[in-house]
């Protein structure tokens, strides 16, 4: 962001907004859960709705609505006319009806909110110190399959929201050279594998992931009737002296390497390189901070980095493309294609 002048009074207001940011966050969650945003929006053609009427319709005290709506008005989430009738502003509309914002709100609330309290310790110790709020694991990935249903739902919705959209678009490139064997590293719930198995009748897929995720992925694939063309390999990439089988035509890694530190990324890629021949394509999908058209997308990625710091593993992040490409080169790979996929993602096709 370029340096810009701002009046002291506005800067102080911004500072106060940060000082009370958790208050407005929880106010927003509450106004969504109580149905206040929905009701206010539905009353827009009547010129808005008063606190008294919201109170009657939703059986919530006027006191409770008053404290929530006063601060929401100060933050520009709702507006109030001279007859004290409330309407949603554009920001309020997005907070209630934009799917990406919804996924981010639920992820922040259910997965990260309590753990974020330990951010300072996470920075000092290089460990995901907030994770203890969810369970006793070294990384969040060890515990994904054991998270409580609400937390798990918010985690998966966040994960899938940022990758599902590009899977179909990526398939044409993935199958360009008619691969017969594809390794999906970090295959998670098996969604991409199912896209591939649906798209092409001949391909065989091997999914590599931690035991909990692998079990889920293979169960999903079996349910879809594809078990004869899919198998799984349990792996923990944080262990030493790993190898993976040879024979892949394509090795696919979607939003996987951002779960690791720079040194770990080089190690993982080197392990893959050892299994590749000169024709194997290693395809990486990432969202790079410096490749976003809009500041708000970059901001979401920066927040996601802090999730990695405090909740996930303590040492990874969403990377800058130049930093990342350097790691790929250090692992002994050459990037033969570097293209945009969808609005936010980059696809790097690499060869040994
Ligand atoms: C962010 S998810 C991405 C999932 C999927 N590829 C996508 O594009 O949505 C990262 C995946 O990497 C796996 N993973 C994370 N750390 C791992 C580790 N140490 N060893 C093996 N797999 C790991 C997780 O279990 C998860 O399935």
Q: What CATH number belongs to 160-351?
A: 3.40.50.150
270 closest CA partner among 183, 333, 207? 333
Average pLDDT over residues 307-325: 98
Q: Is the CB of 26 under 6 A from ligand 1?
A: no
231-281 pLDDT, tens digit per residue, is 999 999 999 999 999 999 999 999 999 999 999 999 999 999 999 999 999
- In ligand 1, the atom with minimum distance to the C-alpha of 258 is 1
Q: Cite the residue boundaries of each domain of the chain with CATH code 1.10.10.10.
A: 8-97
**pLDDT on residue 70:** 98
> In the predicted model, is pLDDT for residue 1 greater than 60?
no
What is the pTM for the complete model shown? Answer: 0.95
69-123 pLDDT, tens digit per residue, is 999 999 999 999 999 999 999 999 999 999 999 999 999 999 999 999 999 999 9
115-163 pLDDT, tens digit per residue, is 999 999 999 999 999 999 999 999 999 999 999 999 999 999 999 999 9
Q: What is the mean pLDDT of the chain?
A: 97
Q: Cite the residue boundaries of each domain of the chain with CATH code 3.40.50.150.
A: 160-351
**pLDDT on residue 2:** 62
Q: Is the CB of 162 under 6 A from ligand 1?
A: no
What's the topology of domain 8-97? Arc Repressor Mutant, subunit A (1.10.10)
> In the predicted model, is pLDDT for residue 222 greater than 80?
yes
CA of 237 to the centre of ligand 1 (A): 10
- In ligand 1, the atom with minimum distance to the C-alpha of 187 is 6
Q: Is the CB of 237 under 6 A from ligand 1?
A: yes
CA of 313 to the centre of ligand 1 (A): 12
Share of the chain above pLDDT 70, in %: 99
What's the Cα-to-Cα distance from 269 to each of 43, 54, 237, 284, 333, rounded to whole Å? 55, 57, 10, 11, 8
**pLDDT on residue 117:** 98
Q: Are 189 and 156 contacting, i.e. CB atoms less than 8 angstroms apart?
A: yes
Using CA positions, which residue lies closest to atom 10 of ligand 1?
256
Q: Is the CB of 109 under 6 A from ligand 1?
A: no
């Amino acid at each position: 962001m370029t340096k810009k002048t701002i009046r002291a009074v506005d800067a102080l207001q911004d500072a106060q907004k940060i000082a009370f940011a958790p208050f407005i966050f929880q106010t927003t969650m509450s106004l969504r859960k109580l149905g206040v945003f929905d009701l206010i929006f539905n009353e827009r053609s009547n010129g808005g709705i008063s606190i008294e009427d919201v109170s009657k319709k939703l059986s919530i005290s006027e006191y409770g609505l008053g404290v929530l709506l006063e601060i929401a008005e100060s933050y520009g989430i709702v507006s109030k006319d001279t007859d004290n009738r409330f309407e949603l502003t554009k920001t309020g509309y997005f907070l209630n009806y934009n799917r990406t914002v919804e996924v981010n709100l639920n992820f922040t609330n259910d997965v990260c909110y309590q753990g974020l309290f330990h951010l300072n310790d996470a920075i000092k110790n290089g460990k995901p110190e907030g994770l203890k709020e969810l369970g006793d694991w070294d990384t969040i990935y060890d515990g994904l399959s054991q998270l409580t249903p609400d937390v798990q739902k918010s985690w998966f919705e966040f994960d899938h929201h940022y990758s599902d959209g590009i899977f179909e678009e990526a398939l044409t490139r993935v199958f360009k050279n008619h691969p017969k064997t594809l390794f999906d590293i970090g295959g998670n719930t098996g969604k991409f594998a199912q896209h591939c198995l649906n798209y092409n009748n001949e391909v065989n897929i091997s999914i590599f992931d931690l035991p909990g995720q692998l079990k889920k992925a293979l169960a999903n694939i079996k349910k879809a009737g594809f078990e004869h063309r899919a198998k799984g390999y349990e792996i923990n990439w944080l262990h030493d002296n790993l190898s993976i089988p040879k024979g892949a035509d394509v090795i696919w890694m979607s939003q996987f390497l951002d779960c690791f530190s720079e040194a770990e990324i080089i190690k993982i890629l080197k392990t893959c390189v050892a299994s590749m021949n000169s024709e194997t394509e290693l395809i990486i999908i990432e969202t790079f901070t410096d490749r976003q058209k809009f500041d708000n997308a970059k901001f979401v990625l920066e927040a996601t980095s802090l999730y990695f710091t405090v909740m996930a593993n303590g040492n990874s992040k969403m990377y800058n493309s130049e930093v990342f490409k350097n790691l790929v080169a250090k692992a002994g790979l050459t990037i033969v294609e570097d293209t945009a996929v969808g609005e936010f993602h980059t696809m790097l096709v690499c060869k040994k």
